[in-house]
C-alpha cells in the first residue's frame, strides 16, 4: 500500500543527493517505464522513415537520416537514465522535469518525418533542446544539493548547455556543411560525460543501469515485431500473401526471439565496475538499439519485397534484414559476451553466425534463412553453456 501511495503522491521536494551505489533491489520505477514507452514513439517514427527510404530505393539518404535522428533519441534517453540512476529523488520537481523530457521526445518524434523527407531538422532539434534543458535543470539541482559532486554536476550543466546552443546554431548553417557540423556536435555531445566525470564519478548503480538498458532493448524489439506484423497484416488484407511473405513472417519471429535470447544470455552488471567500462558499454548501445530498430524497418521492407512494392534488386531485399541483424549480433557479442571471458568456442560462435547471416543475403528467402541461423546459434550456445556448466560442476 505504501508503495502505491508513493507513486500517486510523491514528496513535494527533496535535496537531490546521490543514491547509494550498493542499494539492493534497485529496480526501474513506473516513471522510467513511462519514459521508455513514450520514447519508443520516436524510435518507431525513425524506423518507419528508414523503412520507407529502403523500400523506395533511397538507401543512402535513409540510413543517414536514420543515424542522425536515432542519435538524438538514444542520447537523450541515455542521459536521462544515467542521471536517474545517480540522483532519482522521485519528488515533484524531478517528476515534472522527466515529463518535460518526455514532451521533448514527442516533439522530436513529430519532427522526424520532416528530417527524412526534406532534411529539415528544425522541429527535431527543438524537441532535443526541450529534453536537454530539463536535464540541465536537474544537474543544477544536483549541484546545489551535493557538495562532493558539485563540480561534476556544474560541468555537466555547462557542457550540455554549450552543445545545446551549438545545435541551434547548426540550423542556420548552409546545407552543404550541416552534415559535418552534425558530426562535430555529436562527438562533442558524447564527450561531455567523459569530461564532466574526470575527477568525480556520479553514483550510477550497475544493476539499475543494466536493467534500464535491457528494458529499453525489450521495448525496441517489441516495436520491431509490431512493425513487421503490421506490414504482414497489410499484405494479407490486400490478398497479396505469398510463400515469400510467410517466409518473412516466420523468419522475423525467429530473428527477434533469438535477438532477445542472445542479449539476455549474459548479465551485464558484473563488469560495469568503472566509468571506462560502463561508458564503452553504454555508448555501444547506440548500435545495439539502432540495429534492433532497423531490423523492424528491414522486415517491413522485406514484406514490401515479397508483395512487389520494393524498389531494388534481390540483394538489396536481403541486405535490409541481414545487415542490421549482423550488426546486432557482433555488437551484443562484443559488449555482453566477450567481457565474461567466454570459452574459445563462444568467441568464434557469434562472429561465425554473423558471417552466415550476411551470406544469407544472397539466398532466395533471406529473412527465413537468417532466422534459421539465429535459432541454430541459440541452440548451440545453450548446449555449450550446459556442457561447460557440467564440466565446472564436476571440477
* Domain C-terminal end among 168, 196, 224: 196
Let me know whether 259 and 374 are in one domain.
yes
* The pTM of the whole model exceeds 0.85: yes
Let me know whether 323 and 366 are in one domain.
yes
Q: What is the mean pLDDT of residues 288-316?
A: 89
2 has a pLDDT exceeding 50: no
* Domain C-terminal end among 165, 196, 227: 196
**Interval 19-59: pLDDT, tens:** 888 888 888 999 999 999 999 999 999 999 999 999 998 89
- Residue 93 has a CB neighbour count (10 Å cut-off) of 17
> Among 118-122, 163-167, 168-172, 230-234, where is mean pLDDT lowest?
230-234
* Domain C-terminal end among 143, 164, 196: 196
Let me know whether 82 and 161 are in one domain.
yes
Domain that holds residue 158: 2-9+28-196
* 21 falls within a domain: no
CA angle 354, 355, 359 (to 5 degrees): 115
Let me know whether 227 and 345 are in one domain.
yes
Let me know whether 69 and 189 are in one domain.
yes
* 201 falls within a domain: no
Q: What is the mean pLDDT of residues 154-174?
A: 96
Grid cell digits, residue 89: 529523488
Question: How many distinct structural domains can be found in the chain?
Answer: 2
* 23 falls within a domain: no
Torsion of CA 97, 103, 105, 108, to 10 degrees: -130
Q: What is the mean pLDDT of residues 151-168?
A: 96
Separation of first and last alpha carbons in the chain = 48
Let me know whether 49 and 192 are in one domain.
yes
**Interval 304-332: pLDDT, tens:** 888 887 888 889 989 999 999 999 999 99
* 20 falls within a domain: no
**Interval 178-191: pLDDT, tens:** 889 999 999 999 99
CATH no. for residue 279?
1.20.1410
Let me know whether 262 and 383 are in one domain.
yes
User: What pLDDT score was predicted for residue 12?
Assistant: 61
DSSP secondary structure string for all residues of 219-244: HHHHHHHHHHHHHHHHHHHTT---HH
34-72 CB burial, b ≥16 within 10 A, e <16: ebbebbbbbbbbbbbbbbbbbbbeebeebebbbbbbbbb
Let me know whether 287 and 244 are in one domain.
yes
5 has a pLDDT exceeding 50: no
Q: What is the mean pLDDT of residues 247-261?
A: 92
* 17 falls within a domain: no
CA–CA distance from 17 to each of 97, 153, 197 (Å)? 16, 11, 17
**Interval 362-388: pLDDT, tens:** 999 999 999 999 999 999 988 887 887
Across the chain, mean pLDDT equals 89
Amino acid at each position: 500500500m505504501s508503495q502505491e501511495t508513493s507513486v500517486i503522491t510523491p514528496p513535494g521536494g527533496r535535496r537531490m543527493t546521490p543514491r547509494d551505489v550498493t542499494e539492493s533491489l534497485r529496480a526501474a520505477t513506473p516513471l522510467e517505464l513511462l519514459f521508455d514507452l513514450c520514447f519508443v514513439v520516436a524510435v518507431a517514427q525513425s524506423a518507419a522513415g528508414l523503412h520507407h527510404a529502403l523500400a523506395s530505393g533511397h538507401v543512402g539518404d535513409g540510413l543517414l537520416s536514420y543515424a542522425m535522428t536515432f542519435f538524438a533519441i538514444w542520447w537523450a534517453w541515455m542521459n536521462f537514465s544515467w542521471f536517474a540512476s545517480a540522483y532519482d529523488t522521485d519528488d515533484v520537481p524531478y517528476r515534472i522535469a522527466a515529463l518535460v523530457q518526455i514532451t521533448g521526445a514527442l516533439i522530436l518524434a513529430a519532427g522526424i518525418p520532416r528530417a527524412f523527407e526534406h532534411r529539415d531538422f528544425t522541429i527535431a532539434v527543438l524537441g532535443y533542446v526541450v529534453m536537454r534543458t530539463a536535464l540541465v535543470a536537474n544537474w543544477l539541482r544536483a549541484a546545489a544539493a551535493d557538495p562532493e559532486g558539485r563540480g561534476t554536476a556544474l560541468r555537466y550543466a555547462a557542457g550540455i548547455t554549450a552543445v545545446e546552443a551549438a545545435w541551434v546554431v547548426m540550423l542556420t548553417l548552409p546545407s552543404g556543411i550541416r552534415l559535418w557540423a552534425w558530426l562535430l556536435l555529436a562527438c562533442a555531445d558524447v564527450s561531455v560525460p567523459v569530461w564532466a566525470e574526470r575527477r568525480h564519478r556520479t553514483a550510477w548503480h550497475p544493476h539499475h543501469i543494466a536493467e534500464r538498458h535491457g528494458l529499453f532493448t525489450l521495448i525496441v524489439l517489441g516495436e520491431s515485431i509490431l512493425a513487421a506484423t503490421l506490414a504482414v497484416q497489410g499484405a494479407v488484407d490486400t490478398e497479396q500473401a505469398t510463400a515469400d511473405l510467410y517466409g518473412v513472417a516466420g523468419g522475423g519471429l525467429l530473428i527477434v526471439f533469438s535477438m532477445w535470447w542472445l542479449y539476455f544470455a549474459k548479465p551485464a552488471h558484473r563488469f560495469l565496475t568503472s566509468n571506462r567500462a560502463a561508458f564503452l558499454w553504454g555508448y555501444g548501445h547506440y548500435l545495439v538499439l539502432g540495429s534492433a530498430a532497423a531490423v523492424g524497418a528491414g522486415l517491413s521492407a522485406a514484406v514490401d519485397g515479397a508483395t512487389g512494392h520494393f524498389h531494388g534488386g534481390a540483394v538489396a531485399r536481403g541486405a535490409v534484414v541481414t545487415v542490421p541483424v549482423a550488426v546486432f549480433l557482433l555488437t551484443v557479442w562484443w559488449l555482453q559476451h566477450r567481457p565474461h571471458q567466454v570459452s574459445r568456442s563462444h568467441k568464434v560462435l557469434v562472429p561465425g553466425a554473423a558471417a552466415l547471416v550476411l551470406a544469407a543475403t544472397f539466398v532466395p528467402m533471406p529473412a527465413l534463412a537468417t532466422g534459421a541461423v539465429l535459432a541454430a546459434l541459440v541452440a548451440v550456445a545453450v548446449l555449450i553453456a550446459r556442457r561447460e556448466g557440467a564440466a565446472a560442476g564436476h571440477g
